[in-house]
Structure 1
Amino acid sequence: MDEAPSLPSGLMAIQPTILNFSSLLANVLEMEVEVVDRHLIRIAGTGPYSYRFGHSPESNNHLLRNVIETQKEMVVVDSRYNPLCKACQHRQFCKERAFIGVPILAPHRCLGVISLIAVNNEQHRKLSDNADMFVQYMRHVSRLLVANLASAQPRQTQSDAVWHTLLDSMDQGVILLDRDGKVKAVNDRALSQLDATHESLTGRSLAIEPLTRQRKAAHGHTQHRVIMGDQQMLLTGQLHHIGQQKLFLMAFHQDALAASLLTENEPPGIERLVGKSKAIHKLKRLIMRIASSPSSVMILGESGTGKEVVARAIHRLSKRHDRPFVAINCAAIPENLLESELFGYVKGAFTGAAPGGRAGLIQSANVGTLFLDEIGDMPLSLQARLLRAIENREVLPVGASRPVSVDIRIISATHQNLRQFIEEGKFREDLYYRLNVIPLEVPPLRDREGDIELLMHYFLNHHSQRIGCAYPGISREAIELLQRYLWPGNVRELSNLVEYLVNIVPEGEIIDGALLPPLFHTTIRSVPLMAYPPKTVCGPVEKEEEEGAKLKSVEKSLIEEALQRTRNKKQIAEELGIGVATLYRKIKKYGLQA
């Protein structure tokens, strides 16, 4: 191991300042930073370069020495093909993918090198794409270090001056909080975004809380709630913990969203039902009113409106919130398996049965909540057994001779018109009244005025965290285009669109109208695909029948056209904003070739 020199170098004398700059550069540019003096002694560094200060680095000496000897900047976008790297003895063990070195130049001599290093594929891509910009940042820091050394002021005064100069030269807002959560430093860009002054903010307590409820937020920009006394705002950026201090780097874009995504004065459990429209507000009030009741609930609404989200909210607000919530899609399970899935079976009940039998989903939901989605697709033969289970609070597994007692609350959901099914003999009237004790209707997205922007930001936050990418902004133009659309697939369609946009938007840019699919730019408003009939104004029967026929014709044409393009049913269902089971029913209904 190389020994440290007996006397500190010039750069070592201002090591605390250099450490601050290294940490700031690494956080802003999302790269690794290393600073060495003219003797190749490491002064500061981040990541794999954050140790062995006062000693010579174990690798990369060829590139560093070249910068010191030539006193010129050096950019290596791919270390594998650089002649200097080929001569390095540590080449086979080296993890450095790319390198930028900028000399720290004083009059007539080179004091050392500040370098930016890519050690993984993502950093390699960023360095290759932004090399010129990164060099400019490093030149600026290099000049500040030289100025700091030449200054006759006390070291702490020098450090503060350089720190504030660097902050004010940045294009993005920066806030530094001390160990007590008080504003220690803030630059002009942040003051502009916060609509504040240095005097009103410096020294003031400021709380910055990630909006995500996950324990570990994904890398990249996320939304944060910033609290100053009685004032609250929503800002996008990165929150870094450096020792006992906090550094908040604001994103270049800030979405013009005045209200927090988490609605105030609402109990935990209903926050996922995002929206502040009159229709959704009415639904929330009703949910909170009936959640504690043991009565059965039937949730009505078009496909994609979020009926399961409503069911889970009811469960979380009920007295059974710490008990099982078991969900089953009656349309997704084949009819011959649905009975054993619901009621279970005993040993030897049929060929292929598990040796020890199996408890059904109704038993699994004991003392909890059973959610039956797409209840209209349940076969008539099973409807009678379900009715018996509800009335007697017991189930009889397949092949069993004795029933098993259960204590469950049933929440069902459908997008179909069950009254019409009853008239057609497809659904039992007695079961309908047992399930429809408390009806809840989830409004379609087109009737939720003002909620599209809230949901857009909610899904941007959700998908960017899940994918692990930077939180993108969205332009006013794009929001207006989304608000003019009729959303036949409702909230599910919006979520799928946002996930698509988060994947394709270039990092650091905002989502504008050009990124939206062509469908959103057409002047012809889309006709929603819905089996659950919309509310209609009273009028002649002939007019209603004519409108219904037109709707079916459009619906059939859209499905037929999609089937001609692809055989992927899941892809077609996502395009049309409906479930796969719903798609198969419509294919059968219209006699189309699947």
Structure 2
Amino acid sequence: MIPSIPLSILMQIQPQIQQFASMLSSVLQLEVEIIDSALYRVAGTGLFNKKIGQKLSTGSQLLRYIIETQKEKVITHSRFDPLCENCGNKEACQEKAFLGTPIMYHHQCVGVISLVALTHEQQKRINDNIQEFSDYVRHVSSIFVSRFLCDRSSGGNIHKIFLTMMENMDQGVLVVGNDQKVKFANHTALKIMDASRGQMIGKTIQFQPLTFGDNFKHGHMQHVITFDDRKELIIGQLHMVQDQWLFLMAFHQSHSSADLSAAQEGPQIEAMVGECRAMRQLKKLIGRVAPSPSSVMIAGESGTGKEVVARAIHKLSGRQAKPFIAINCAAIPEQLLESELFGYVKGAFTGASANGKVGLIQAANQGTLFLDEIGDMPLTLQAKLLRTIESREIQPVGASCPVPVDIRIISATHQNLEQCIAKGKFREDLYYRLNVIPLRLPPLRERRDDIELLIHYFLNLHTHRLGLVYPGVAQEVVEFLKRYAWPGNIRELSNLMEYLVNVVPSGEIIDMALLPPNLVSGSGNVEPEAELPRTMTTLSFHEEGGTALEKMERQMINDALARYSNKKQAADELGIGIATLYRKIKKYSLAGRDAE
């Protein structure tokens, strides 16, 4: 309740200021508090949305400092700043970081706009963007004054302020109505989309995420944006703000050459990221076979994501509400595998639980049983599994009566089971029972068009999970990783992205210098560059003559390394990629120079 005292000029337009604070909070993803010069709270979001119109406590040293000095104040770690030293509320303070900017009107400070971090993620946002947020809020504050306090007759000015604010953002911004028509696009967005304002405003637009799940609700996602006959792959965040969609584009964008023409074909399957021809065909096939009760066998190298495919089949089937039970046949000792799969009754063997145990097959009743690395199942258990499939019942260890079960079996293997059959290591009759619907999951080296999509998928996954800043990736790194053979497949790529988000400086771009040396120097796992510039590499790769030319090449590399301490600059002068430079350093035994 607003007290009965003369209202400040900010309090007189309190509803508009509250609306402005809410929009500012949505754009910057921070809490916002606005107070007047008498320390009355005019507006606020989140924790600061309480006690609007009431005077703040006497412990508000930060806000008093800004009003008295008419200067901005930034605190990256609250409670440790000298201004916080004598604060009586210091121990109970929930603020982790603070950026306050004075609101100036006729050369007087009439209030303060505060950006406040209450979580570690928000704290990192302020710490990583101090200058940008500072300039931004100062600019917004000047607009705020000129558009509101100088002309209070029009309540619609809040929208003009919001649009002006977004137009001056370094991030690309699109505002889309509920009718899916573009209402606003700032200059940065138009540049990223390579479109004019006339080509965007009023056009119907669709956002299709390429990654799914609750983990990505508030993080960056790759979206296929469709308007007119165009499809663009844009990384960004989609927010609902006051009955409108706000799409905030990431500072660092992808430059994918992936074919997005069929991106909306087939079922949208969580975590199955990929738009190459093989993956689109696989998704379509999964969509067709998922409703069937027939057994599925997924063949693929280690690390290709066989369990992801199994879970996708389960989710698209009529059994999706029932259990999905996964067991790795290679990870459980042979002597325990039978009791794990089939369960046992009380007193079945020495050391058995007094209550017996329900086996995984029975636990998957009416659902899906996923048997990973089926090729490692012992022959004795293969026979018992075959009987279960044929009779649709199991016999727990020590039980006298069978138990009926209704399961769908999805199995997976990286082995050639036909060779295992020939060697007598796998039962042929079980193979044909399990291999009713065969699926082959391609290795990552056969999915080079998907690598950039996967890079950004895992960057998003790991930055969100670890609470880190989403980095950009140099195109040279993307091209190198596209040529890499990926012996560990998608698992190796995921591990690499997790490593890189931990070592890249906050807010910077991942470049070749950050890649692990064993990855860059492992030339056996990297295809040669498809096309080399007509420089010194032209002689060494395309001409004959061997020894003399190699000596010349070695000398040119040595000279370039002597001139530049930065290998990227040396590679640029030589006209080769940095990966090629590292291979040449190794070839010509310039390791000493490399270490400098």
Structure-2-length-normalised TM-score: 0.76
Per the alignment, do residues 236 and 58 of structure 1 end up closer, same or farther by CA in structure 2, a change over 3 Å counting? farther
Q: Tell me the residue number matched to 1:384.
A: 383
2:173 maps to 174
Distance in 2, Cα, partners of 1:210 & 1:134 = 28
Q: State how far apart, in whole Å, the 2-side matches of 1:323 and 1:120 are.
A: 37
Q: Which amino acid aligns with 1:53?
A: I
Is 1:57 aligned to 2:56, yes or no?
A: yes
In 2, Cα distance between equivalents of 1:474 and 1:261: 24
C-alpha deviation, 1:493, in angstroms: 1.7
Displacement of 1:524: 1.5
Q: Secondary structure at the match of 2:79?
A: helix
Deviation digits for residues 470-516 of structure 1, max 9, x if unmatched?
A: 54443321221111111111122222223333444444444333332
- Report the counterpart of residue 563 of structure 2 in structure 1: none
Deviations 1:427-451 (A, max 9, x none): 3344444444554433322223423
Distance 1:455 1:34 in 2: 39
The residue type paired with residue 265 of structure 1 is: E
Structure 1 residues 55 and 522: alpha-carbon distance in aligned structure 2, compared to 1, 3 A threshold = same
Could you tell me which residue of structure 2 aligns to residue 344 of structure 1?
343
Matched, 1:249 2:248: yes
Given that 2:342 and 2:394 are in contact with CA atoms closer than 8 Å, whether structure 1 keeps it comes out as: yes
- Aligned residue for 2:326? 327
8 Å Cα contact 2:212/2:270 also seen in 1: no
Contact 1:261 1:458 in 2 (8 A): no
SS in structure 2 opposite 1:497? Answer: helix
Aligned-residue offset at 1:331: 0.9
Check whether the contact 1:485–1:525 (CA below 8 A) recurs between aligned residues: no
- C-alpha change, 1:5 and 1:169, in structure 2 (3 Å) is farther
Counterpart Cα distance in 2 of 1:316 and 1:93? 46
Distance in 2 between the 1:320 and 1:119 partners?
42
Closer, same or farther in 2 for the Cα pair 1:344/1:261, shift >3 Å?
Answer: farther
Match of 1:311 in 2: 310
- Relative distance call for 1:16 and 1:357 in structure 2 (3 A) is same
The one-letter code sitting in structure 2 at the alignment partner of 1:267 is: P
CA contact (8 A) 2:205 2:227 kept: yes
Q: For this pair of structures, how many residues does the alignment match?
A: 526
Does structure 1 residue 264 correspond to structure 2 residue 267?
Answer: no
Report the residue type matching 2:266 in the other structure: E
SS of corresponding position for 2:265: coil
Distance 1:440 1:180 in 2: 41
Deviating more after overlay: 259-268 vs 4-13: 259-268
Measured in 2, the distance between the counterparts of 1:179 and 1:278 equals: 33
Q: Could you give the per-residue CA deviations for residues 528-555 of structure 1, whole angstroms, max 9, x where no partner exists? A: 9xxxxxxxxxxxxxxxxxxxxxxxxxxx
SS in structure 2 opposite 1:80? coil
Q: CA separation in 2, counterparts of 1:292 and 1:56?
A: 63
Q: Give unmatched runs, 5+ long, in structure 1.
A: 529-594
**Aligned counterparts, 1:527-538, within 5 A:** none
Change in CA separation of 1:409 and 1:60 when aligned onto 2, cut-off 3 Å: same
Q: Separation in 2 of the partners of 1:358 and 1:34?
A: 57
Contact 1:33 1:45 in 2 (8 A): yes
Cα distance in 1 for residues equivalent to 2:115 and 2:273: 43
1:578 aligned residue = none
Return the alpha-carbon distance in structure 2 between the equivalents of residues 82 and 318 of structure 1: 57
Distance 1:184 1:344, change over 3 A: same
Report the equivalent of 2:420: 421
**How far does residue 337 in structure 1 lie from its aligned partner after superposition?**
0.8
After superposition, the Cα gap between the structure-2 partners of 1:29 and 1:487, relative to the gap in structure 1 and judged at 3 Å, is same
Inter-CA distance 395–227: structure 2 relative to 1 (3 Å threshold): same
Q: CA deviation at 1:405?
A: 3.7
| One-letter amino acid of the structure 2 residue matched with residue 494 of structure 1 | L
Maintained 8 Å contact 2:23/2:241: no
Q: Distance in 2 between matches of 1:247 and 1:19?
A: 19
User: Superposition pairs for residues 446-525 of structure 1, below 5 Å?
Assistant: 446-467=445-466, 469-522=468-521, 524-525=523-524
8 Å CA contact 2:222, 2:457 repeated in 1:
no
Q: State the match for 1:542 in structure 2.
A: none
Deviations 1:228-273 (A, max 9, x none): 46655443223333333443322212223465699423135x5644
The residue that corresponds to 1:194 in the other structure is 193
- Contact 1:33–1:49 (CA under 8 A) maintained in structure 2: yes
Residue 172 of structure 1 contacts residue 249 of structure 1 at CA under 8 Å; is this kept in 2? yes
d(CA) in 2 for partners of 1:130, 1:287: 44
Superposed CA offset, 1:277-302 (max 9, x none): 44445545555565555554433332
1:427-446 equivalences in 2 (<5 Å): 427-446=426-445
Is 1:31–1:118's contact at 8 Å kept on the other side of the alignment? yes
CA contact (8 A) 1:371 1:411 kept: yes
Q: What amino acid maps onto 2:455 in structure 1?
A: M
- The answer to whether the 8 A contact 1:222-1:465 is kept is no
Q: How far off its partner does 1:99 sit?
A: 3.7
- 1:22–1:271 distance in 2 versus 1, CA, 3 Å: closer
Shift of 1:387: 3.1
How many angstroms apart in 1 are the aligned matches of 2:100 and 2:91?
21
Alpha-carbon offset, residue 404 of structure 1: 3.2
Say which SS state the counterpart of residue 110 (structure 2) adopts.
strand
Offset at residue 56 of structure 1 (A): 1.7
State how 1:151-170 maps to structure 2 within 5 Å: 151=150, 154-156=153-155, 158-170=157-169
2: CA distance between counterparts of 1:114 and 1:435?
Answer: 65
Distance 2:23 2:489 in 1: 43
Looking at structure 2, the residues matched to 378 and 303 of structure 1 have their Cα atoms a distance apart, in angstroms, of 17
Residue 238 of structure 1 pairs with residue 237 of structure 2? yes
**Equivalent pair of 2:379/2:427 in contact (CA under 8 Å):** yes
Task: Give SS of 1:104's match.
Answer: strand
Task: Report if aligned partners of 1:445, 1:490 keep a CA contact under 8 Å in 2.
Answer: yes
Distance 1:69 1:209, change over 3 A: same
Q: Which moved more, 1:418-427 or 1:300-309?
A: 418-427
Residue type at the aligned position of 1:64:
L
Partner of residue 547, structure 2: none
Distance in 2 separating the partners of 1:79 and 1:322 = 47
Deviation at 1:324, TM superposition (A): 4.0
The yes-or-no answer on 1:373 pairing with 2:372 is yes
Provide the residue aligned with 2:395 in structure 1.
Answer: 396
> Within 2, Cα distance between the matches of 1:140 and 1:90?
31
- Residues 326 and 34 (structure 1), Cα distance of their counterparts in 2 relative to 1, 3 Å cut: closer
Give the secondary-structure state (helix, strand or coil) at the position aligned to 1:413.
strand
* Equivalent residues of 2:259, 2:275 under 8 A apart: no
Could you tell me whether the CA contact under 8 Å between 2:368 and 2:410 is conserved in 1?
Answer: yes
Could you tell me which amino acid in structure 2 is paired with residue 135 of structure 1? Answer: S
* Superposition deviation, residue 111 in structure 1: 2.2
Flag the 1:350–1:79 CA change in 2: closer, same or farther, 3 A: closer
Q: Is the 8 A contact 1:218 1:465 kept in 2?
A: no
Tell me the amino acid that sits aligned with residue 347 of structure 1. K
| Structure 2 runs not aligned, ≥5 long | 528-596
Q: Secondary structure at the match of 1:93?
A: coil
The aligned amino acid for 1:48 is L
Query: Does the residue aligned with 2:190 lie in a helix, a strand or coil?
Result: helix
| Structure 2: distance between partners of 1:220 and 1:59 | 38
Task: Report 1:558-577 matches (<5 A).
Answer: none
Asked if the contact 1:223/1:461 (under 8 Å) is kept, the reply is no
CA–CA separation in structure 1 for the residues paired with 2:438 and 2:110: 76
Query: CA 1:441 to 1:13, structure 2 compared with 1: closer, same or farther past 3 Å?
Result: same
Look up the SS of the partner of 2:397 in the other structure: coil
Q: Which amino acid aligns with 2:479?
A: E
Q: Deviations over 1:289-327 (max 9, x none)?
A: 655555544333321222333334444455655554432
- The offset of 1:65, in angstroms, is 2.5
Deviation of 1:91 after TM superposition, in Å, equals 3.6
Read off the aligned partner of 2:497 and give its amino acid letter.
Answer: V
Question: Conserved in 2, the CA contact under 8 Å of 1:482 and 1:520?
Answer: no
